[in-house]
């Protein structure tokens, strides 16, 4: 029986397997494929099949190209560096380090936008936060230091009275020749902390305008040299104790109301040694310090011994002393709008016509520089002489 089974398998080994399904008619299939819609569909199917087969056999055609993955992550904006000079010198000030066209100035209204300002001659100009006044031709002063007017100090050259009697208050002042007209002078301070506003004040204000520099400013001597090359006489600002100290702190070398004369002298040595070429000093803040008899006596005595002038913003009017003295009649930019500043400058001009002379002070806000530059242009035509602040000083007792 086993032999019969082997014989049957061998006989069937070379034969094709018997079909178990229905038999297909090839002629019927060809007839169907000859129909156009079916032919198009079949061709598309054949193309897709060929593409799939290509990818299966050869793989992704881009697989061999170099590739990289990058994680996209937005970096946090870098924090703006803290202003080293102004934070030490002017806590809570107007932020003089801001740009001339800072949107924050425009939004706050501090710069006055495009408000019209009226000059005494009836002309009107638009004021904004950008300084558009033209550059003024230079009228260079003698370069500093002048021989004989300084001596070496622990932190830099200190002003002294020369052996022939010359004093810094006169030698470094801008020469002035009165013409008989009423005189008006303007001091613009807070300079040296912001390069843009400082350069604008130096180049766009008339050379008769006196410029006052912050002692903490970096590159102070360079700024003073540039100002003198343009024709401006300059001063150094002396930080003095204000109401609210130490919350309102003008810096580490602030003259304090309860300081000893030795402490005042030591701080003055550092402050006066920061640069050379200035004819005098002015106060920064100081409503408490000026009430100190001992402090003010030491301060003014130092200035008198070194031949320096002291011009204050009006708060020390009753304090005589120094080699030469003057006090301002008004602060022109307590309100930082073009209309307000021009109004104060017009009032200063009127005071000069009434009394013969008037002195104003202001800060280097962009709007102050712009308004002062435009106001000063028409002074001569209005019968007023623009004078340097040194021309307003007088020797005590004379």
Tens digits of per-residue pLDDT, 15-59? Answer: 434 444 445 455 655 555 566 655 556 566 666 665 555 545 445
Question: What whole-number percentage of the chain has pLDDT above 90?
Answer: 64
What's the rounded Cα separation, in Å, for the pair 143 and 228? 7
Tens digits of per-residue pLDDT, 195-211? Answer: 999 999 999 999 999 99
Is pLDDT above 90 for 118?
A: no
Instruction: Find the mean pLDDT for residues 85-113.
Output: 36
Peptide bond into 232 cis (omega under 30): no
pTM (2 decimals)?
0.72
- Dihedral sign from CA coordinates of 275, 281, 282, 284: positive
Q: Which CATH architecture has domain 146-392?
A: Alpha-Beta Barrel (3.20)
Q: Which region holds residue 285: left if phi is over 0, alpha if psi is between -120 and 50, else beta?
A: left
pLDDT of residue 83: 42
Q: Where are the domains of the chain?
A: 146-392
Is pLDDT above 50 for 349?
A: yes
Task: Indicate the pLDDT class of residue 132, thresholds 50, 70 and 90.
Answer: confident
pLDDT of residue 117: 45
Tens digits of per-residue pLDDT, 301-343? Answer: 999 999 999 999 999 998 988 999 999 999 999 999 999 999 9
Is pLDDT above 60 for 266?
A: yes
pLDDT of residue 92: 36
Q: Which region holds residue 312: left if phi is over 0, alpha if psi is between -120 and 50, else beta?
A: beta
Task: Indicate the pLDDT class of residue 110, thresholds 50, 70 and 90.
Answer: very low
What's the rounded Cα separation, in Å, for the pair 160 and 272? 11
pLDDT of residue 318: 85
pLDDT of residue 11: 39
Instruction: Find the mean pLDDT for residues 74-98.
Output: 42
What is the length of the chain?
Answer: 398
Tens digits of per-residue pLDDT, 211-245? Answer: 999 999 999 999 999 999 999 999 999 999 999 99
Show the tokens assigned to 172: 């470094």
């Amino acid at each position: 029986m086993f032999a019969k089974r082997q014989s049957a398998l061998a006989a069937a080994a070379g034969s094709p397997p018997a079909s178990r399904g229905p038999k297909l008619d090839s002629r019927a299939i060809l007839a169907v494929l000859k129909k156009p819609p079916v032919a198009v569909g079949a061709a598309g199917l054949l193309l897709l099949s060929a593409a799939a087969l290509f990818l299966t056999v050869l793989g992704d055609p881009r697989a061999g190209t170099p590739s990289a993955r990058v994680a996209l992550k937005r970096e946090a904006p870098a924090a703006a560096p803290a202003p080293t000079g102004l934070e030490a010198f002017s806590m809570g000030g107007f932020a003089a380090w801001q740009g001339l066209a800072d949107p924050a100035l425009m939004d706050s209204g501090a710069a006055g936008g495009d408000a019209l300002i009226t000059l005494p001659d009836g002309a009107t100009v638009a004021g904004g936060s950008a300084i558009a006044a033209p550059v003024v031709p230079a009228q260079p002063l003698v370069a500093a230091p002048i021989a004989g007017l300084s001596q070496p100090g622990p932190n830099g050259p200190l002003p002294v009275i020369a052996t022939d009697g010359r004093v810094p208050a006169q030698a470094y002042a801008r020469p002035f020749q009165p013409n008989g007209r009423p005189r008006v002078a303007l001091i613009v301070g807070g300079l040296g902390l912001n390069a843009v506003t400082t350069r604008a004040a130096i180049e766009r204000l008339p050379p008769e305008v006196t410029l006052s520099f912050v002692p903490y400013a970096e590159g102070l001597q360079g700024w003073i040299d540039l100002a003198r090359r343009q024709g401006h006489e300059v001063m150094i600002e002396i930080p003095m104790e204000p109401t609210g100290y130490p919350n309102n702190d003008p810096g580490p070398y602030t003259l304090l109301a309860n300081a000893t004369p030795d402490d005042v002298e030591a701080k003055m040595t550092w402050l006066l040694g920061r640069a050379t070429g200035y004819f005098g000093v002015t106060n920064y803040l100081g409503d408490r310090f000026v009430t100190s008899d001992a402090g003010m006596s030491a301060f003014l005595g130092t200035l008198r011994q070194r031949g320096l002038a002291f011009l204050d913003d009006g708060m020390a009017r009753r304090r005589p002393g120094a080699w030469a003295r003057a006090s301002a009649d008004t602060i022109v930019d307590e309100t930082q709008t073009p209309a307000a500043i021009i109004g104060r400058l017009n009032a200063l001009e009127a005071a000069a016509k009434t009394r013969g002379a008037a002195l104003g002070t202001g800060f280097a806000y962009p709007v102050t520089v712009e308004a002062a530059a435009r106001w000063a242009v028409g002074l001569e035509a209005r019968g007023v002489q623009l004078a340097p602040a040194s021309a307003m000083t007088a020797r005590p007792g004379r």
